[in-house]
Structure 1
Amino acid sequence: MRLLTKIILMAFMLPLFLACDGLDQPPIISQTPSALVSPPSSITLNGTDLEEVIVFNVSTADFGTETGVTYTVQMDRPGNDFASPVDLGSSTSTTIEVSAEELNRRAISKGIVPGETGPMEFRVRSVPTRNLSALLSEPVSISISTFADAEVLRNLFLVGEATARGWDNNNNNPPLFRDPENLDLYIYTGYFSTGGFKVLEVLGQWQPQYGTNDGSTISVNEGGGSDPDVFSVPSNGYYTFTFDLSTNSFSLEPLAAEATSFATVGIIGSGTAEGWDASTAMTALQFDAHIWNITATLSDGEMKFRANDAWDINWGSNTEISGKASQDGPNIPVSAGTYNIWFNSLDGRYILLEN
């Protein structure tokens, strides 16, 4: 009886299964990203008007459904495939204004020599308010003519019992290493003692002074206000301190393993006193043997860092003033002047502070 019931049920359901074959599949919703509208082939920045803005017009993105959209113009160097784009400006409308001064600074940080012209790639990133993926436009190449920005780059220095100079705020305190592309990002990998530390902008002055009041975001006393609390170090050891003023955030992460120490590290190159013939020795901190320092007068040219007066271990990069050098990297461009030069053999970061 049960078998007969099952057979009858299957006979009844069979037409329904067959009918399902004719059901329409869900339609594929087409989406169209925003794009730059009539982008210029070139942009000339002259620096005469600090309030000048560059206006980018973009088309409306179509997500196939009603949604609000935030449009962001992004830029990166050619050939980098937007691996590290910078956001120039955003808007919920299709008109995006970008500060000419900011565009100039970003173009220089991406490799265009101040006062010269070079290509940059631009694209539009469209982010919907609904739970949908962002859309990216195809890149567009625009030639940017930069101006020599007179703005002084912000330098930051460590102070506090957890650092090399203690609470002495004017004793050649080690600087944070500024990222060459995101000029608001600073990274310092090195030894810290148990205790606290802060970050200063000017040696010999207690303000501007940076710290944290909640353990996760950066607080600052520009002057006249209340000083923030310290960044805390839980125990002696090597850490990477990441300090990002563009997001007002920081982190202090233990270093997995200490790197090799070197007997000597020096600078060498056409821009140094000894040329390419010999290294000029740097001095390591007693507090941390991986942080090296020298005050040197350079001429227009190039330089590298190398260990033990030999070429087996050498570091180079293509960014002037600050950067992250790598083994056998390119020669570092340098301009004439006297600099307080710092190098970190743990991660290859360097910074030149003009005296």
Structure 2
Amino acid sequence: MRLISKLTWVAFMLPLLWACGDLEQPPIIQQTPASISSPPSAIVLTGEDEEEVLVFNVTPADFGTGMEVTYVIQMDRPGNGFANAADLGSSTTTVIEVSAAEINRRAISRGIVAGETGPMEFRVRAVPSRTLSALEGLPVTIPVTTFADAVALRNLFLVGEATARGWDNNANNPPLFRDPENTDLYVYSGFFNAGGFKVLENLGAWQPQYGTNDGSTISANMGGGDDPDVFNVPAAGYYTFTFDLSTESFSLEPITDVPATFETVGIIGSATAEGWDASTAMNQLAFDKHIYYLTATLGDGEMKFRADNDWAVNWGTNSAISGKATQDGPNIPVEPGTYKIWFNSLDGRFIKIEQ
């Protein structure tokens, strides 16, 4: 009886299936990416105006339905397929302002020697407010002439519940320690709470802001766009956070061997208030007692860091503004000025930020 019932059901349904014929296919929504309107024949950067901006006009993208769209100007070296695309600026309008200094920095990090001319590819990435895929326009190649920018150094600061100052963006936030040779490379080794954090460029301002949207590459809001998601710390502990803007990459690696802290760390040397006779004590960060900071007016001369007012443990290097000092290393050269000085006894890294 069960077999007969099944055969009867099939015999009943077959005419209905034949009657339905082919199912209608949903209509295909045509989408059109944005493009740069009348791209310049060349971009010549001089560095004469620190506030100089370049204006890019773009055609609107069409996603087949109305929505807000954020337009992002991207740049990369030719032939790289935008695998290392730099987000230069963004806007929810079709007029996008981009800092000339930002183009200069990113072009140099992608192979154009400072003061020389080389080709760069530019395109527009249209990011919809709805859950649709972004559209990338066709690239255009533009010669870019760069300038040497040895003075303007970017300082970056930590913010977020995983860090010492929480989400307060102007509370003496610890900086990342900049590499003295690759000035797009930053390293911070220290304690993090579980949770999220971001990186800010200017204390007291939320943009430029850096984070990650995919968990593996750096995303940025240089101003006018959407803020990126946080860098995530899975559990409280000591980590080394490596942040490389030249490759738009980062890593967060646990530290398994954490050295002991010191009672005091200070600066000493001919450039300091006490000369070579005594240390000037630095403040110790309560959140992570490997981190020390001090605002000091320094003279022309040299300095070192040393622990517990004794020469048994001291750090030095020949880098003037930032670097990784080592035990019994050379004296640190100093130019006169007032600086916020940060030092990390965990790995010897330091940075001086002119005030």
Normalised TM-score (structure 1): 0.60
User: What is the letter of the counterpart of residue 273 of structure 1?
Assistant: A
Question: In the alignment, which residue of structure 1 is the partner of 2:304?
Answer: 304
Q: In 2, Cα distance between the equivalents of 1:225 and 1:243?
A: 21
Could you list the per-position Cα deviations for residues 172-193 of structure 1 after superposition, in whole angstroms to 9, with x for gaps in the alignment? 1000000000000000000000
1:303 and 1:239 map into 2 onto residues whose CA distance is: 28
Deviation of 1:149 after TM superposition, in Å, equals 4.8
User: What one-letter code is carried by the residue in structure 1 that aligns with 2:345?
Assistant: S
> Secondary structure of 1:302's partner?
strand
CA apart distance, 1:50: 5.3
Kindly indicate whether residue 324 of structure 2 is the aligned counterpart of residue 324 of structure 1: yes
CA distances 1:182-228 after superposition (whole Å, capped 9, x unpaired) = 00000000000000000000000000000000000000000110000
- Matched with 2:115 is 100
* Aligned counterpart, 2:212: 212
Deviations 1:297-339 (A, max 9, x none): 0001000000000000000000011000000000000110000
User: Number of paired residues?
Assistant: 225
- Report if aligned partners of 2:177, 2:351 keep a CA contact under 8 Å in 1: yes
Residue 271 of structure 2 aligns with which residue?
A: 271
Tell me how far apart the structure 1 counterparts of residues 149 and 193 of structure 2 sit (CA, whole Å).
38
Q: Which residue of 2 aligns with 1:187?
A: 187
Identify if the C-alpha distance between structure 1 residues 50 and 223 changes in structure 2 by more than 3 Å, giving closer, same or farther.
Answer: closer
The code of the aligned residue for 1:335 comes to E
In structure 2, relative to structure 1, the CA distance for the partners of 1:210 and 1:354 (3 Å cut) is: same
Give the superposed CA RMSD. 2.4
8 Å Cα contact 2:301-2:335 kept in structure 1: yes
Question: Residues of 2 paired with 1:154 and 1:246: CA distance?
Answer: 13
- Measured against aligned partners, the alpha-carbon deviations of 1:45-86 in whole angstroms (never above 9, x if no partner) come to xxx9559xxxxxxxxxxxxxxxxxx9xxxxxxxxxxxxxxxx
CA, structure 1 residues 211+148, in 2 after alignment: closer, same or farther (shift >3 Å)? closer
Q: What's the counterpart of residue 280 of structure 2?
A: 280
One-letter code of the match for 2:287?
Answer: F
The CA distance in 1 between the partners of 2:151 and 2:230, in whole Å, is 29
- Measure the CA separation in 2 of the matches of 1:101 and 1:204: 35
CA 1:313–1:148 in 2, change beyond 3 Å: closer, same or farther?
A: farther
Alignment correspondent of 1:28: none
Structure 1 residue 150, shift from structure 2 partner:
6.5
Aligned match of 2:251: 251
How far apart are residue 256 of structure 1 and its match? 1.4
Q: Is the 8 A contact 1:165 1:173 kept in 2?
A: yes
Distance (Å, rounded) in 1 between the aligned partners of 2:194 and 2:113:
44
Mapped to 2, the partners of 1:89 and 1:346 lie a distance apart of 32
Structure 2 CA distance for aligned equivalents of residues 154 and 277 of structure 1: 34
Q: Which position in structure 1 is the counterpart of 2:231?
A: 231
- What secondary structure is seen at the aligned counterpart in 1 of 2:196? strand
Contact 1:50 1:101 in 2 (8 A): no
2: CA distance, partners of 1:281 / 1:317: 19
Which residue of the partner structure matches residue 221 of structure 2? 221
The equivalent of 2:84 in structure 1 is none
Counterpart of 2:113 in 1: which secondary structure? strand
1:117-266 maps to which residues of 2 (within 5 A)?
149=149, 151-266=151-266
Distance 1:175 1:290 in 2: 14
User: Is 1:341 aligned with 2:341?
Assistant: yes
SS in 2 for 1:352: strand
1:98 offset after TM fit, Å?
2.8
Letter in 1 for 2:163: T
1:202 to 1:326, Cα distance in 2 relative to 1, 3 A: same
Letter matched to residue 336 of structure 2: A
**Does the residue aligned with 2:166 lie in a helix, a strand or coil?**
coil
Q: Does residue 294 of the first structure (1) align with residue 309 of the second (2)?
A: no
TM-score, structure 2 normalization: 0.60
Inter-CA distance 257–170: structure 2 relative to 1 (3 Å threshold): same
In 2, Cα distance between equivalents of 1:215 and 1:148: 33
Q: Displacement, 1:152?
A: 1.7
Distance 1:194 1:353, change over 3 A: same
Partners of 1:335 and 1:196 in 2: CA distance: 37
How far apart are 1:89 and its partner, in Å?
7.5
Question: What letter corresponds to residue 226 of structure 1 in structure 2?
Answer: D
Q: What secondary structure does 2:199 align onto?
A: strand
Cα 1:89–1:286, aligned 2, differ >3 Å: closer, same or farther?
closer
Tell me if structure 1 keeps the 8 A contact 2:115–2:148.
no
In the other structure, the counterpart of 1:61 is none
**Residues 49, 171 of structure 1: alpha-carbon distance in 2 compared, 3 angstrom cutoff:** closer
Q: Say if 2:114 and 2:148, in contact at 8 Å, map to a contact too.
A: no
Q: Distance in 2 between matches of 1:330 and 1:192?
A: 31
* One-letter amino acid of the counterpart of residue 99, structure 1: A
Gaps of 5+ in 2: 1-44, 49-79, 81-107, 118-146
Cα 1:280–1:169 change in 2 (3 A) is: same
Q: Summarize the Cα distance change of 1:148–1:265 in structure 2 as closer, same or farther, 3 Å threshold.
A: farther
